């Protein structure tokens, strides 16, 4: 069981056309945990986020996010999809969204040889809510479950999914639950998690870089890591070179930590190095993750389920022991 992807800004989404991230108003996110939110940047009901090429074993996937809803659902626009699960052939296998223009809330759908649509509909409350959507396939049967603030709303089942395969891509419109032709950015998303295990109750805390660390082999300024543009970057053409930085302090609630991770957007041009390795520096020791082969504009994330210094489960007090975070160019 593992975390597949964590998303805290639009650059961690593989295809973010008309999707952006901002930090202009802390009313839309929790600044003790993250530094911004993701939103639809145009008045267009075809606006989509696309999270593609998810890699995991098994046939069960959870999608979790925190949403700030500025208004309840609108009825002034045609049906649109809030969250959509797709297989490797880009076929829709399940969705949550408005099913008709007269709807003022969302319904579940599970695809197969026929499309099963939920009878009940659900409104997203204004203000903050935690949303968890679970899709799983068991043989030719598929189940889709929606949780709002940890409470199960419905599990919808299709007993014949035909030749549809497991979820590889997730897409949707952040505003689809409440969109109207005159409004946009009514659904602001933060703390997104995709996992093959239960995500209910989880939060995401982002520790940004605060100062350069021990290693500075890469060309560029580590301060550019927080600009959220593809034009600012670090680079190297030498295997084994490292760059590191000191993280900011954790400001969230005390308690247990399920995973600690490092996220990069890595681009390979030509030749070697071909891979990137993240590491945590604790007590003067670099605890390296696996070498991950870079892809063009690909997202690379490494997660540690236990504290590598002690081999014990993480707790929030351990975060102060992470002296530096870094990346190493690998073959």
Give yes or no for residue 103 having a pLDDT over 60.
no
0.85 surpassed by pTM: yes
| pLDDT at position 74 | 46
User: SS3 of 301, please?
Assistant: strand
Give yes or no for residue 216 having a pLDDT over 60.
yes
Q: What is the mean pLDDT of residues 152-156?
A: 97
Range in 77-86, 149-158, 197-206 with the lowest mean pLDDT: 77-86
Range in 29-38, 53-62, 96-105, 199-208 with the lowest mean pLDDT: 96-105
Domains recognised in the chain with CATH numbers: 3-195 (2.60.120.200), 209-330 (2.60.120)
Nearest-angstrom CA–CA distance, 309 and 282: 7
Nearest-angstrom CA–CA distance, 22 and 252: 20
Instruction: Give tens-digit pLDDT for 234-290.
Output: 889 899 999 999 999 999 999 999 999 999 888 887 778 889 999 999 999 999 999
| pLDDT at position 116 | 96
Instruction: Give tens-digit pLDDT for 47-97.
Output: 678 898 898 989 999 999 999 887 655 444 455 678 999 999 999 999 998
3-state per-residue secondary structure call for 71-99 = CCCCCCCCCCEEEEEECCCCCEEEEEECC
pLDDT band at 19 (very low <50, low <70, confident <90, very high): confident
| pLDDT at position 268 | 80
Q: Which residues contact 9 (CB under 8 A, 6 or more apart)?
A: 21, 35, 36, 38, 228
pLDDT averaged over the chain?
A: 87
Which of 67-81, 121-135, 287-301 is modeled with the greatest confidence?
Answer: 121-135
258-291 as b/e: b if 16+ CB within 10 A: bbbbbbbbbebeeeebebbbbbbbbeeebebbeb
């Amino acid at each position: 069981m593992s975390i597949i992807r964590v998303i805290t800004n639009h650059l961690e989404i593989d295809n973010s056309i008309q999707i952006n991230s901002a930090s202009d108003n802390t009313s839309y996110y929790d600044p003790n945990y993250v530094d911004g939110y993701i939103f639809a940047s145009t008045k267009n009901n075809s606006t989509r986020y696309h999270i593609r090429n998810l890699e995991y074993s098994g046939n069960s996937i959870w999608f979790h996010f925190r949403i700030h809803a500025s208004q309840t659902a609108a009825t002034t626009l045609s049906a649109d999809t809030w969250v959509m699960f797709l297989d490797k052939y880009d076929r829709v296998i399940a969705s949550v969204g408005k099913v008709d223009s007269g709807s003022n809330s969302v319904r579940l759908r599970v695809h197969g040889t026929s499309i099963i649509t939920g009878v009940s509909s659900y409104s997203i409350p204004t203000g903050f809510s935690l949303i968890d959507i679970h899709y799983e396939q068991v043989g030719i049967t598929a189940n889709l479950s929606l949780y709002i603030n940890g409470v199960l709303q419905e599990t919808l089942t299709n007993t014949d999914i035909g030749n549809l395969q497991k979820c590889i891509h997730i897409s949707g419109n952040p505003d689809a639950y409440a969109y109207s032709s005159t409004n946009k950015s009514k659904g602001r998303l933060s703390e997104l998690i995709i996992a093959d295990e239960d995500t209910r109750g989880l939060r995401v805390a982002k520790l940004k870089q605060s100062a350069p660390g021990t290693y500075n082999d890469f060309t560029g300024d580590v301060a550019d890591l927080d600009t959220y543009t593809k034009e600012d970057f670090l680079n190297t053409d030498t295997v084994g070179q490292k760059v590191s930085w000191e993280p900011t302090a954790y400001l969230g609630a005390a308690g247990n930590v399920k995973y600690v991770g490092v996220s990069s957007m890595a681009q390979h041009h030509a030749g070697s190095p071909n891979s990137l390795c993240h590491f945590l520096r604790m007590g003067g020791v670099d605890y390296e993750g696996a070498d991950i082969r870079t892809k063009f504009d690909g997202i690379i994330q490494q997660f540690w389920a236990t504290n590598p210094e002690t081999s014990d489960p993480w707790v929030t007090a351990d975060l102060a022991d992470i002296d530096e975070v870094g990346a190493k160019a690998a073959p």
